[in-house]
Amino acid sequence: MITANSTASPWLEKLSVRYAASGFSGLLLFACFPIVNWNILVWVACVPLLVALIVEKRWLRAFWLGYLAGAVFLSGSCYWFVSVMQGYGNLNPVVAAGVLILFVIVFSTFYGVFGLIETAVARRSIFAALILGPFLWVAMELARTYLITGFPWNLLGYAVRPVGLQQVASVTAVYGLSFLAVITSALVTWALVERGRKVSLVALAAWTAILLAGNWLLEPPPQQPEPNVALLVQPNIPLGEAAMDSWAPWTNPGPVESLVSDSVEAARVSGATSAALPLIVWPETSAPFLYGRDPVFRGAIESMAKRVNAYVISGTVTFGGKGSSQPENAAVLLGPGGDLLLHYVKIHLVPFGEYVPWWAFPGKVGKITAEVGDFLPGKAVEVARTPEGVIGIFICYEAIFPQLVRKFAAGGAGVLVNISDDGWYGDSSAPFQHFEMARFRAIENGRFVLRGTNNGITAIIDPYGRVQKEIPRNQYGILTGHFRYLTKKTFYTENGDVFAWFCVAVAAGMVLVLLMPGFRRAAG
């Protein structure tokens, strides 16, 4: 059993060392993800923080230790906020940096709460605090998913890269991989701070063997030929008002007609017109594609669907609300006869992109989009049932929410289509991080994900999260590949966040029991 007098304690007596350890954990967490992408660090990233927390004596100081780790991590992960708000929100550098600072101040609180609870439990039992760690971490990630508008960006499990272990997400969602990573950090911490290290080292070695065996046992089967054809168009439309003016179909139909012509030719060359009906995907873009108000654009994609005898998906802006005056970020799905099969309106909007959160001084801080007023969110998850199979579409930022995308598969979707415009992120790490999160939605739901983006990363992802084909960023192209409509549902699709809520329950139960007045700290 670990005690407060363990061998690691003396050099951690200095508060400055504990704060340095906390900040170092934040750096390690940041380095797990693109662009640094040293994902092997995911297994030890929490170790410095855990060591600092289990020897800390003051609860409030523990909060700030956790808070510091979160602030460093979130600042590094989301540094691109500044360039996005400056470049597209027309904010000066100081105000743009202020948006990032405000975000970090708010969301680092979850890490602070983690630190406070870990230290509070460690005062009773350090061993129990290390057991609590992975359950509490998942509970905080679930809170970050649902609370304060929700921003589950770069949850720790996304950095777990062994393909076999990633399949755990089909049961637990990404939270299960976060759990595995924090267990590993807790065992390493035990080995570092325990005086007699034999038991802890044996436990760490056994756990490592379990991870290796699990990765081998869960290795996905070889890829098989698939019957359905997808054509994902990456138009690489530049951002900005000048580009919007030049791409407006009602004044300049040339660019849209060129996209139609290239899409039709790509379908012909692929042989898709002689096989099962193909699926053509045009992404979310900054171009003014207004399906409901622009007969030129509507006529172009309806004609394309008829000429190729294909299903066509396109991002568009529609209008709803009182007097149809509020913009909606939407997607339309047309059948091979040009008829509208699905009009899906994005449910989970982007803070600072499509609206300003209540806690971020609405009216003082602007959005990065050009439309007047906040976007109107959609109200329901909808899928389109076709003779080929059932299609579900989710838009851009919605890809980072496991519980939302799950609803499409639970509603019967046999293939998931993600349309996005990651051009707003520029040449930052954000597009690569966004792609990794979208890739996990395939694993969680056992579905092909067809990801069509304006400027990358456009890709076909199989149900095990393997990228079959992709187009590099910032290039024009049409990606032709194969997929299959699937019907078998994973445990996660059927049951949702059972595992994550189980972690919440275990964490809450442990905290209640361990902090009861009658409980005495273990001393053996």
- 186, two tokens: 């807790």
CA atoms within 13 A on the CB side of 487: 3
Q: Tell me the one-letter amino acid at 449.
A: V
Please give the Cα distance from 291 to 164 (Å, whole number).
42
- 146, two tokens: 């649902």
Please give the Cα distance from 83 to 61 (Å, whole number).
33
Question: Catalytic residue at 346?
Answer: yes
Of the listed 118, 194, 284, 398, which one is catalytic?
284
- The per-type count for the chain, helices as H runs and strands as E runs, is 18, 12
Question: Catalytic residue at 32?
Answer: no
Of the listed 32, 56, 328, 346, which one is catalytic?
346
Q: State the DSSP string of 337-370.
A: TS-EEEEEE-SSPPBTTTB--TTS-BTTB--SS-
The angle formed by the CA atoms of residues 58, 64 and 69, to the nearest 5 degrees, is 130
CA atoms within 13 A on the CB side of 76: 22
Selection from 317, 279, 318 nearest residue 452 by Cα: 279
Selection from 445, 374, 435, 443 nearest residue 407 by Cα: 445
- 368, two tokens: 């990065």
Cβ-contact 66, 46 below 8 angstroms: no
Q: State the DSSP string of 118-187.
A: HHHHHTT-HHHHHHHHHHHHHHHHHHHHHSTT---TT-GGGG---HHHHTTHHHH-HHHHHHHHHHHHHH
352: left (phi over 0), alpha (psi -120 to 50) or beta: left
Residues 6+ apart with CB under 8 A from 441: 394, 399, 402, 405, 416, 418, 447, 449
Please state, as a whole number, how many other Cβ atoms lie within 10 Å of the Cβ of residue 176. Answer: 25
Of the listed 32, 46, 78, 396, which one is catalytic?
396
Could you give the residue numbers annotated as active site? 284, 346, 396
